[in-house]
A = this chain, B = another copy of it.
Amino acid sequence: MRVLGIDPGLTRCGIGVVDGAVGAPLTMVAAGAVRTLADEELPARLLGIEKGIEQWLDDYQPDAVAVERVFAQHNVRTVMGTAQASAIAVVCAARRGLPVSLHTPSEVKAAITGSGRADKAQVGTMVARILRLDSPPRPADAADAVALAICYLWRGSAQERIARARQKFARTIELARQRHGL
Protein backbone atom coordinates (compact mmCIF):
# COMPACT_ATOMS: atom_id res chain seq x y z
CA MET A 1 0.00 0.00 0.00
CA ARG A 2 1.31 3.43 -0.98
CA VAL A 3 0.47 6.54 1.06
CA LEU A 4 1.17 10.14 0.06
CA GLY A 5 1.48 12.49 3.04
CA ILE A 6 0.92 16.23 2.71
CA ASP A 7 2.02 18.85 5.25
CA PRO A 8 0.04 21.83 3.89
CA GLY A 9 1.32 25.39 3.66
CA LEU A 10 0.81 28.31 1.31
CA THR A 11 4.54 28.90 0.79
CA ARG A 12 5.56 25.26 0.95
CA CYS A 13 3.55 22.02 1.06
CA GLY A 14 5.75 19.15 2.22
CA ILE A 15 5.10 15.90 0.33
CA GLY A 16 6.21 12.39 1.22
CA VAL A 17 5.45 9.05 -0.38
CA VAL A 18 5.84 5.85 1.64
CA ASP A 19 5.18 2.23 0.71
CA GLY A 20 4.08 -0.20 3.40
CA ALA A 21 2.96 -3.79 3.56
CA VAL A 22 1.94 -5.86 6.57
CA GLY A 23 5.01 -7.55 8.07
CA ALA A 24 7.49 -5.68 5.84
CA PRO A 25 9.56 -2.59 6.72
CA LEU A 26 8.30 0.75 5.39
CA THR A 27 10.07 2.25 2.36
CA MET A 28 10.33 5.91 1.43
CA VAL A 29 9.58 6.31 -2.28
CA ALA A 30 9.97 10.10 -2.59
CA ALA A 31 9.94 13.32 -0.58
CA GLY A 32 9.88 16.95 -1.59
CA ALA A 33 7.74 20.05 -1.59
CA VAL A 34 5.33 22.10 -3.68
CA ARG A 35 6.28 25.77 -3.42
CA THR A 36 4.59 29.05 -4.29
CA LEU A 37 6.01 32.55 -4.25
CA ALA A 38 4.95 34.93 -1.45
CA ASP A 39 4.61 37.83 -3.92
CA GLU A 40 2.06 35.99 -6.07
CA GLU A 41 -1.66 36.68 -5.64
CA LEU A 42 -3.69 34.13 -3.65
CA PRO A 43 -5.52 32.68 -6.73
CA ALA A 44 -2.19 32.01 -8.49
CA ARG A 45 -0.73 30.44 -5.34
CA LEU A 46 -3.69 28.11 -4.74
CA LEU A 47 -3.66 27.14 -8.42
CA GLY A 48 0.08 26.41 -8.15
CA ILE A 49 -0.54 24.19 -5.12
CA GLU A 50 -3.29 22.35 -6.96
CA LYS A 51 -1.10 21.77 -10.03
CA GLY A 52 1.83 20.66 -7.88
CA ILE A 53 -0.20 18.17 -5.86
CA GLU A 54 -1.89 16.81 -9.00
CA GLN A 55 1.57 16.18 -10.45
CA TRP A 56 2.66 14.22 -7.36
CA LEU A 57 -0.58 12.18 -7.45
CA ASP A 58 -0.07 11.46 -11.17
CA ASP A 59 3.59 10.53 -10.71
CA TYR A 60 3.22 8.28 -7.67
CA GLN A 61 -0.39 6.98 -7.86
CA PRO A 62 -0.90 6.51 -4.11
CA ASP A 63 -3.65 4.32 -2.63
CA ALA A 64 -4.44 6.86 0.09
CA VAL A 65 -3.57 10.40 1.17
CA ALA A 66 -2.79 11.64 4.69
CA VAL A 67 -3.08 15.39 5.35
CA GLU A 68 -2.24 17.33 8.50
CA ARG A 69 -5.39 18.46 10.30
CA VAL A 70 -5.11 22.22 10.76
CA PHE A 71 -5.83 23.81 14.12
CA ALA A 72 -6.33 27.47 14.85
CA GLN A 73 -4.27 27.58 18.03
CA HIS A 74 -1.14 28.66 16.13
CA ASN A 75 -0.28 31.98 14.53
CA VAL A 76 -3.62 33.20 13.17
CA ARG A 77 -2.24 34.77 9.97
CA THR A 78 -0.28 31.66 8.99
CA VAL A 79 -3.12 29.32 9.86
CA MET A 80 -5.45 30.87 7.27
CA GLY A 81 -3.02 30.05 4.46
CA THR A 82 -2.44 26.59 5.91
CA ALA A 83 -6.21 25.97 6.02
CA GLN A 84 -6.54 27.07 2.40
CA ALA A 85 -3.62 24.91 1.22
CA SER A 86 -5.03 21.92 3.14
CA ALA A 87 -8.43 22.39 1.46
CA ILE A 88 -6.72 22.13 -1.94
CA ALA A 89 -4.80 19.02 -0.86
CA VAL A 90 -7.94 17.32 0.47
CA VAL A 91 -10.02 18.11 -2.61
CA CYS A 92 -7.30 16.92 -5.04
CA ALA A 93 -7.31 13.52 -3.33
CA ALA A 94 -11.09 13.32 -2.84
CA ARG A 95 -11.68 14.17 -6.52
CA ARG A 96 -9.75 10.98 -7.45
CA GLY A 97 -11.80 8.94 -5.03
CA LEU A 98 -8.75 8.31 -2.81
CA PRO A 99 -9.33 7.82 0.92
CA VAL A 100 -8.16 10.95 2.76
CA SER A 101 -7.23 10.82 6.39
CA LEU A 102 -6.56 13.87 8.55
CA HIS A 103 -4.10 13.63 11.44
CA THR A 104 -3.30 16.22 14.09
CA PRO A 105 0.37 17.10 14.59
CA SER A 106 0.32 15.51 18.06
CA GLU A 107 -1.16 12.26 16.70
CA VAL A 108 1.67 12.09 14.17
CA LYS A 109 4.34 12.89 16.76
CA ALA A 110 2.94 10.28 19.14
CA ALA A 111 2.83 7.66 16.36
CA ILE A 112 6.43 8.33 15.29
CA THR A 113 8.23 9.15 18.55
CA GLY A 114 5.90 7.89 21.29
CA SER A 115 5.32 11.48 22.51
CA GLY A 116 2.76 13.97 21.23
CA ARG A 117 5.06 16.77 22.39
CA ALA A 118 8.18 15.73 20.46
CA ASP A 119 10.00 18.49 18.56
CA LYS A 120 10.67 18.61 14.80
CA ALA A 121 14.25 17.33 15.16
CA GLN A 122 13.09 14.28 17.12
CA VAL A 123 10.40 13.51 14.53
CA GLY A 124 13.02 13.84 11.75
CA THR A 125 15.44 11.52 13.56
CA MET A 126 12.75 8.88 14.08
CA VAL A 127 11.53 9.17 10.48
CA ALA A 128 15.09 8.52 9.29
CA ARG A 129 15.46 5.56 11.67
CA ILE A 130 12.08 4.00 10.69
CA LEU A 131 12.89 4.31 6.97
CA ARG A 132 16.57 3.35 7.35
CA LEU A 133 17.78 6.66 5.91
CA ASP A 134 21.15 8.28 6.64
CA SER A 135 19.43 11.57 7.53
CA PRO A 136 15.89 12.96 7.81
CA PRO A 137 14.20 13.90 4.50
CA ARG A 138 14.74 17.54 3.50
CA PRO A 139 13.17 20.15 3.67
CA ALA A 140 11.65 19.83 7.19
CA ASP A 141 8.10 19.97 5.73
CA ALA A 142 8.93 16.90 3.61
CA ALA A 143 9.97 15.02 6.78
CA ASP A 144 6.64 16.00 8.37
CA ALA A 145 4.78 14.78 5.26
CA VAL A 146 6.66 11.47 5.38
CA ALA A 147 5.76 11.21 9.10
CA LEU A 148 2.08 11.71 8.16
CA ALA A 149 2.28 8.85 5.65
CA ILE A 150 3.95 6.58 8.25
CA CYS A 151 1.27 7.54 10.80
CA TYR A 152 -1.44 6.55 8.33
CA LEU A 153 0.21 3.21 7.50
CA TRP A 154 0.80 2.31 11.15
CA ARG A 155 -2.64 3.32 12.33
CA GLY A 156 -4.13 1.43 9.41
CA SER A 157 -2.15 -1.72 10.11
CA ALA A 158 -2.79 -1.40 13.88
CA GLN A 159 -6.50 -1.26 13.13
CA GLU A 160 -6.17 -4.30 10.83
CA ARG A 161 -4.27 -6.15 13.55
CA ILE A 162 -7.00 -5.37 16.10
CA ALA A 163 -9.68 -6.47 13.63
CA ARG A 164 -7.82 -9.74 13.00
CA ALA A 165 -7.35 -10.31 16.76
CA ARG A 166 -11.08 -9.73 17.31
CA GLN A 167 -11.98 -12.24 14.58
CA LYS A 168 -9.55 -14.81 16.03
CA PHE A 169 -10.99 -14.29 19.52
CA ALA A 170 -14.56 -14.66 18.23
CA ARG A 171 -13.55 -17.88 16.42
CA THR A 172 -11.89 -19.28 19.57
CA ILE A 173 -15.03 -18.54 21.60
CA GLU A 174 -17.21 -20.14 18.91
CA LEU A 175 -15.02 -23.29 18.82
CA ALA A 176 -15.04 -23.49 22.62
CA ARG A 177 -18.84 -23.19 22.63
CA GLN A 178 -19.20 -25.96 20.05
CA ARG A 179 -16.73 -28.18 21.92
CA HIS A 180 -18.53 -27.76 25.22
CA GLY A 181 -22.01 -27.75 23.68
CA LEU A 182 -22.81 -24.26 25.06
- State the A residues within 8 Å of B (CB): 42-44, 46-47, 50, 70-72, 76-77, 79-80, 83-88, 90-91, 93-95, 100, 102
Least CB distance, A119 to chain B, in whole angstroms: 24
Question: Which listed residue (B50, B71, B102) contacts A91, Cβ 8 A?
Answer: B50
**A79-B76 Cα distance, complex, nearest whole Å:** 10
User: Which listed residue (B43, B77, B79, B102) contacts A90, Cβ 8 A?
Assistant: B43
- CA–CA, A93 to B46, complex, Å? 11
Which residues of B sit under 8 angstroms from A86, Cβ to Cβ? 84
- Of chain B, the residue at the smallest CB distance from A99 is B43
Q: Name the one of B43, B70, B94 contacting A93, with C-beta atoms under 8 angstroms.
A: B43
Please name all residues of chain B whose beta carbon is closer than 8 Å to the beta carbon of A42 when the two chains form the complex.
90, 100, 102
A sample of 6 more A-B contacts (CB under 8 A), given A42-B102, A72-B76, A87-B87, is A43-B91, A43-B94, A46-B87, A50-B91, A84-B87, A88-B91
Complexed CA–CA distance, A85 and B84 (Å): 8
16 contacts between A and B (CB under 8 A): A42-B90, A42-B100, A43-B90, A43-B91, A43-B93, A43-B94, A46-B91, A46-B94, A47-B95, A50-B95, A70-B80, A76-B76, A83-B84, A83-B87, A84-B87, A85-B87
Q: What B residues does A76 contact at CB under 8 A? A: 72, 76
Contacts of A46 in B (CB 8 A): 87, 90-91, 94
Q: Which residue of B lies closest to A87 (CB)?
A: B84
